[in-house]
Amino acid sequence: MTIELSTPALLFPAVSLLFLSYTNRFLALSALIRKLHTDWIKLPENCDSALLAQISNLRQRLKLIRWMQVSGALSLFLCVTSMGFMLFDVQLIGTVFFGVALGLMAVSLTALVREAYVSGGALNILLDQTGKSVPSSKDC
């Protein structure tokens, strides 16, 4: 199977859009972490279980975003390397590097899906906490 030089270049638009998405997620997460850190310092006993659950959730999401970014960057690097090999007519190595780049992109996308699932868990923590403090429908 021969892959043309332009084939790895097809990933460039996708990678740039993914990195924009990953950066936005990271920035939103870092703002949230800073807010929770301020809340943590203001709490007199630092033992709010919902806050601890949020912090644990944010740690997990931060790790997933790191995996997303690193595997996406490595995928892009291997695409460029693959194009270099193909440019110099070293098809086999170029094809192998492109295959590995596709695998890393799959890792990145898998981490994205997992992070989206975990971020929903963060909202459930807030909903659980809100559900405990909201009066029942009989009280309204």
Q: pLDDT value at position 64?
A: 92
Are 95 and 82 in contact by the 8 Å Cβ rule? The answer is: yes
In a domain, 72, yes or no: yes
Q: pLDDT value at position 11?
A: 73
Q: Which amino acid is at 8?
A: P
In a domain, 107, yes or no: yes
In a domain, 41, yes or no: no
Number of domains in the chain: 1
In a domain, 37, yes or no: no
Range of the domain at 62: 10-29+49-131
Q: pLDDT value at position 140?
A: 40
In a domain, 5, yes or no: no
In a domain, 126, yes or no: yes
**pLDDT 10s per residue in the chain (140 long)?**
667 767 777 777 777 788 888 888 888 888 888 888 787 777 766 566 777 787 888 889 899 999 999 998 999 899 889 989 988 989 899 999 999 999 999 999 999 999 988 888 777 776 776 666 545 545 44
In a domain, 42, yes or no: no
Q: pLDDT value at position 37?
A: 78
Alpha-carbon distances of 115 from 65, 111, 119, rounded to whole Å = 7, 6, 6
Which candidate, 39, 37, 64, 38, places its Cα nearest to that of 121? 64
What does pTM read for this prediction?
0.75
Helix (H, G, I), strand (E, B) or coil at 127: helix
In a domain, 109, yes or no: yes
